[in-house]
Structure formats: C-alpha cells, structure tokens
Structure 1
Amino acid sequence: MKFLEQTAYFKYGPNEFSKGSFQSLEEISLIHPNEVVWLNTIGLEHQVEMRHLIERHKLEPFLIKLLKDEDQSNKVIPMQDLLFLSINVLQADRMDLETEQMFFIVSPDFVWTIQEVADDHFHWIRDRIEDNSGIIRQKKGDYLLFLLLESIISNYQSTFDRIYSDPKFENLSHKEVGKPAFTAELEERKQQLFKVKKAVSSLRDTLLKCENATLTSLSISYFSELKEQSINLMNDIDFELYKMDSTTNLIFSVQGHRLNEIMKTLTIFSVIFIPLTFMAGIYGMNFENMPELSWRNGYFFLLGVMLLVGCVSVWIMKRNKWF
C-alpha cells in the first residue's frame, strides 16, 4: 500500500525512542502512554487511509473535510484537544521557489504531519530525537510543533541569505549597473524576495492565530518566540528590498545621466552646424541674380564667415559653461 510506504513514525519519551514504518493500517496508533508519537505522511492523495485513521482514533470528523482541500490558504483551527494547521511552505531548494501544502494535526500526545512532497525540512529534528539532544524528549507534542515551525522559519532564513549574499550584487560599479543584463537579474532577485516575504508574512499571521488559540492542553508560549523570529526576518527582507529599490533608482539615475551627456553632445553639434547649414543652403540655391556668386573670393569669404560663426558659437557655450 502506497500510504504505508510513504508514512513513517518517531515514538519517543524521556527514556525511550523508536522509529520505523508500518506493515498495515491497524498497526498505526497515535496514542501511547507516556510517549509522544510523530507520524509523518508524504502525499495528500491518501484520503481513504487518512479517513480510516481519523475515525479509528475518534478524532474530530471535521478533519476529514479539511484534509480533502489540497489547495487552501494558511489556517489555524482549534478542535477540543487538537490543533489543526494548514500552511503553504516555500520549497527553498528550488530556484522557482514554489510552495507545497503541509498539514499539522497536533495534540499533547501526538503530531501528525502531512506533506505534499518529500522535501525533508525536518531532518535535524529527527537527529535531535534520535540522539536525545536537548529537551525534546522531555516535552510534549506542542514543543515538537514549535521545532517543526521553527525549522520552516530557518528554511526561509536560509533562502533569504542565499538571495541576499549573491556576489553579483556586491561592490557594484556604475559600469555594471548600466548593463541591461544586470537590470534583469535585479528584477528577478526582487521577485524571489517578494515570494519569500509573502511566505514569511503568511506564516507570521498563522503564528498570531496560534498565539490567540484557546487550548488548555497545548502551551502557546512557544508561538511568541516564533512570531518574533518571523518579524525579524520580515524586517531583514524589507530592508533588502529597500536597498534594491535604491539600486533601481541608481540604475535610472545612471541611465538618465548618460542620456543627458549624449543629448548635450548632440545639442553642441546642432548649435554649431545649424547656422552653417543655413548659410550653405542659401548659397546652394540656383537663382541667376545672386551677386555673391560672381565675387572672385566669395567662396573663401563664406568659409571665413562659417568659421567665425562656429568659433563664436563655441565661445558662447564655453562662457556659459554648457560643456
């Protein structure tokens, strides 16, 4: 059965630990005295098996409907002694930063995580449980949920650091800023940060809902720490976006300065050659009665006048510091 192949468990207590998979649905038990069960399922298509587990453990029937919705916004729904969370988690290892749906069903005695894809966001938590590192084995399911959500935030932080530390955007020169390829890369980087910001903002709102949830069986003090972490990350992203907006303004400023230099050069040549072109146009007309055409030195006289007009134009522009 595919559900059994894609479902694994961690079971732990202060002095006990075990992990593995199941051979049949009847082996799956979410409740063990003095132990916490972490059940992890990959894939959202196992509706029949998940319904069977919910009904056999007499969990809230509303969970069946919630798990059927494979495309939903972040939700926090308290249910008796359970807490249901639905989160769109950013796949930070992918360059396109797509999201996956993830469900959490949490009680003091068990945590059931259901992931859309097999991305391992939580490997360090498994290692900590197995090595009995820290206080996780002394805590209940709410602390495990805290670590799971903290891992997601840490994943977002790593994604932000990867985008932020791109060497292409360090020690920029005006020559690099003016390249069209740089502008395209900058815009792509901004779009990536906007995706991370959206994911962090959504997770922050989820943590606020968790903090306000009224469940006596679960501790909500952990969510305050997670909320602070998400807010700090949001501030870092906003500051980086502000810097990128400044870089964008610099690009426009450099491009505008270059355009002004080009227009100034063209204007100088226009001011010099427009009157010369005017004079050349007059004496290029084919009228019979043009006395100057019969002058012996008329050609040289006109060249001298043109040279004088050109020099006067240059002198006027230099005097007014136009270049």
Structure 2
Amino acid sequence: MSKSPKKNKANKSDNVLQTTSSYTYSIESYSKNEYKKVEDIVFDYKSTSVQWLNIYGLNFDNDFKKIIIQNGLDEFLINLLSDDDHRNKVIELDNCLFMSIKAIHYKNEEFLSEQMMFVCGPNFLWSIQEIKGDYFGHIRERISDNKGVVRKKNADYLLYLVIEAIIDNYFETYEVLFEKIQHLKDLSNVKPSPEFAVKLENNKQDLFILKKAISSLRDAINRFDKIQLENFETNYFSELKEQANFMIDDIDFDLQQLESSINLMFNIQSHRLNEVMKTLTVLSVIFIPLTFMAGIYGMNFKNMPELNTANGYYILLGIMAVMVISIIFYFKKKGWFD
C-alpha cells in the first residue's frame, strides 16, 4: 500500500537555506549559487542563463511566500505551495507554470509516496521535494560536466529531464515487480494454495499502484499540449507521453497474465476437487449395495431361511463380487477411469 512519509513539523523553524541548492548554467558557464538569506534568492529574467533552485521540505511557507513576492511570480503560487497534498497536475500561471507530482518509491517491498512541486519559467526551474535525496543526481552531473545538450537549452528542457528521471524510476520499479511475478506466471511446478493466491493478489495490487501513478503522471503531461507560456517549448514532453504509454501497456499485459494465472489456479483446484469427488462417488456406488446386503443378512431374526443354506455364505460373496465387477465395468464403459 502506498503511504506518505511523516512530515517533520519542526522544519517550520529550520533555516530553509540549509536544504537549498542552486545552480546557474549556460553554454559557456556553470556555477553553484550560495545564499546568506532568503532575500538573496532572485531569478534574473533578463539573463540568458538558466537557474535551477531546489529545496527539500514542504513546510517553509513563509520563505516560499518571500521568494514568490520578491521575484514577481503569480501570487496564486502561495496557495499552491502551502498545500502539501497535490495530485499530479499542471497549471499555467501568468509568467510561469506550476506542476505537482505525487511520486512513488518502492522500498522494502512497500510503496512510499513523495510530494514534488515545480515552478518553471523560460529561464528558471524551482523544484520542491518532500524527501531529501532524489533521482536527479545524473542531471546535475550532466549540467556540471556539460554533457549532452542540457546547457544549450532553456528551463523547459530541464523540466523535461526531471520528469524523465521520475519516469525512469518508475521503470526501475516495474523491473523489480516484473522479476517478482515471472515465476508466478508458470504454474507447471507450483502447487496452488491459499498462500500462493495471496501472493498473486499482492503482486497484482503492486502493479495496480504503479499503473495508477504512471497513468496520473501521463494525464498531467498531456496538459503541456495546452500550455501557451512564452518561450516554453512543449514538444519535448511528447516523448514522455510515449514512455508512459509503453509502461502502461506492459503493466496491462502483466496484469492479464496474472489474471490468467489466477483463473488457471482455480481451474486446477476445481479439477482436483472433481477428481476427489469422482473417486468418492465410485467407492460409494460400489460399497453402498454391498453394505445394504451385509446389513440385511446381519440382522438377528430367527426366521431367515437363507441362513440355513449350506453354501449361503459363498453364494452371497459371489453375488457381491458380480455386483462389484458389473459396477466397475459400467464405469469403465462410461469413461470414468480415463
């Protein structure tokens, strides 16, 4: 089951700068920014460089408000950033866009959710993460080492890389779940049992949680098609939609296979139960008439002529043997022993 990490309310009194990192880069240069106070965090809209501001923690409402006001950002962001439980969505504002992602982590066979929020303009990206530590280290390395085209692009491409990193994490989670379910699909060497059924159902639920997360993220990415923010390129995000669709297709295929495995398991159990019932039926049909005859001649009445017959015991055994042979022959003719 997916659950959110506990929020540390003590963060409200902590210094936001202790959890803040900032980088400025362009084709020619790269630098790491150091701030002594929140008022120093200013986005230079006239610069051709791109600035990436990252903050860990969601409880710095007053500091977020200062950053928004002193940078002239849409004040609706104050309400958006004060809410720490957003669904996946994209909202276009006056001079930037806001995106929230409910990311999931798969650790110790359990899903944990993390709220991420992004404020993006033509030349800046402000990312806010609930948990310290993320999957963006390789992006920082590409920026600092000037690998690829990231330093030739605007902040929209940086946002694309960040979302792609989140989707890559989902792919890694899917690969872990895929390995877990591989042996569950083949029932040839598995003895169906309640424990096995529970294991199948748990793996189905894990896949459903992952599918829900990636489907919601895909729906949010679709919103980029309607963004009309100046100097914001939306073509990058078409590739992300394709990646999300591929993963959803793979998950759907695995869910169908697991469903087939569950149905096959129940069919195997029903077949085994039918075989048991058939065996019990054959034995009952054979022994019920024998028991009936034995019960009759086991009664303690004085006037039973058959009891005085010299070969009565052997005659009765012969009749019983003929009955058993006849019943077995009948069942074999009907194909019950095939």
TM range (shorter): over 0.9
Q: Which amino acid aligns with 2:54?
A: N
SS in 1 for 2:236: helix
Residue in structure 1 matched with residue 24 of structure 2 by the alignment? 11
Residue in structure 2 matched with residue 137 of structure 1 by the alignment? 151
Residue in structure 2 matched with residue 262 of structure 1 by the alignment? 276
Shift of 1:8: 0.9
Of 215, 240, 244, 2:254 maps to 240
Residue in structure 2 matched with residue 217 of structure 1 by the alignment? 231
SS in 2 for 1:98: strand
Q: TM-score, normalised by structure 2?
A: 0.90
Matched, 1:301 2:312: no
Matched, 1:25 2:38: yes
Residue in structure 2 matched with residue 2 of structure 1 by the alignment? 15
Deviates more, 1:14-23 or 1:143-152: 14-23
Of 137, 141, 153, 2:167 maps to 153
Residue in structure 1 matched with residue 83 of structure 2 by the alignment? 69
Q: Which runs of 5+ in 2 are unaligned?
A: 1-13
SS in 1 for 2:132: coil
| CA distance in structure 2 between the partners assigned to 1:214 and 1:167 by the alignment | 43
- Whether the 8 Å contact between 2:185 and 2:257 is mirrored in structure 1 is no
| CA distance in structure 1 between the partners assigned to 2:178 and 2:82 by the alignment | 37
| CA distance in structure 1 between the partners assigned to 2:19 and 2:309 by the alignment | 104
Residue in structure 2 matched with residue 207 of structure 1 by the alignment? 221
| CA distance in structure 2 between the partners assigned to 1:250 and 1:218 by the alignment | 52
Aligned-residue CA RMSD in angstroms? 1.8
Q: Which amino acid aligns with 2:24?
A: K
| CA distance in structure 2 between the partners assigned to 1:94 and 1:170 by the alignment | 20
Of 24, 37, 52, 2:66 maps to 52
| CA distance in structure 2 between the partners assigned to 1:151 and 1:196 by the alignment | 16
| CA distance in structure 2 between the partners assigned to 1:130 and 1:65 by the alignment | 34
- Whether the 8 Å contact between 1:174 and 1:254 is mirrored in structure 2 is no
Residue in structure 1 matched with residue 11 of structure 2 by the alignment? none
Q: Which amino acid aligns with 1:198?
A: K
Alignment of 1:303-322 (within 5 A): 303-322=317-336
Deviates more, 1:27-36 or 1:136-145: 27-36
Shift of 1:94: 5.1
Q: Which runs of 5+ in 1 are unaligned?
A: none
Residue in structure 2 matched with residue 101 of structure 1 by the alignment? 115
Q: Which amino acid aligns with 1:304?
A: G
Deviates more, 1:216-225 or 1:201-210: 216-225
Deviates more, 1:92-101 or 1:38-47: 92-101
Q: Which amino acid aligns with 1:230?
A: A
- Whether the 8 Å contact between 2:42 and 2:70 is mirrored in structure 1 is no
| CA distance in structure 2 between the partners assigned to 1:106 and 1:15 by the alignment | 22
Q: Which amino acid aligns with 1:154?
A: D
Q: Which amino acid aligns with 2:221?
A: L
| CA distance in structure 1 between the partners assigned to 2:260 and 2:301 by the alignment | 62
SS in 2 for 1:262: helix
SS in 2 for 1:211: helix
Of 201, 204, 226, 1:187 maps to 201
SS in 2 for 1:18: strand
| CA distance in structure 1 between the partners assigned to 2:36 and 2:195 by the alignment | 55
- Whether the 8 Å contact between 1:5 and 1:21 is mirrored in structure 2 is no
| CA distance in structure 1 between the partners assigned to 2:245 and 2:182 by the alignment | 27
| CA distance in structure 2 between the partners assigned to 1:207 and 1:57 by the alignment | 26
Deviates more, 1:191-200 or 1:294-303: 294-303
Shift of 1:312: 1.1
Shift of 1:125: 0.7
Deviation string, structure 1 residues 154-205 (Cα, Å, up to 9, x no partner): 1111111111123751773434152433322221111110011000100110
| CA distance in structure 1 between the partners assigned to 2:66 and 2:199 by the alignment | 50
| CA distance in structure 1 between the partners assigned to 2:162 and 2:63 by the alignment | 24
| CA distance in structure 1 between the partners assigned to 2:77 and 2:139 by the alignment | 26
Of 210, 217, 221, 1:196 maps to 210
Shift of 1:37: 1.0
Q: Which amino acid aligns with 2:104?
A: L
Identity of aligned residues (%): 43
Deviates more, 1:283-292 or 1:101-110: 283-292
- Whether the 8 Å contact between 1:44 and 1:115 is mirrored in structure 2 is yes
| CA distance in structure 2 between the partners assigned to 1:289 and 1:100 by the alignment | 91
Q: Which amino acid aligns with 1:236?
A: D
Deviates more, 1:46-55 or 1:301-310: 301-310
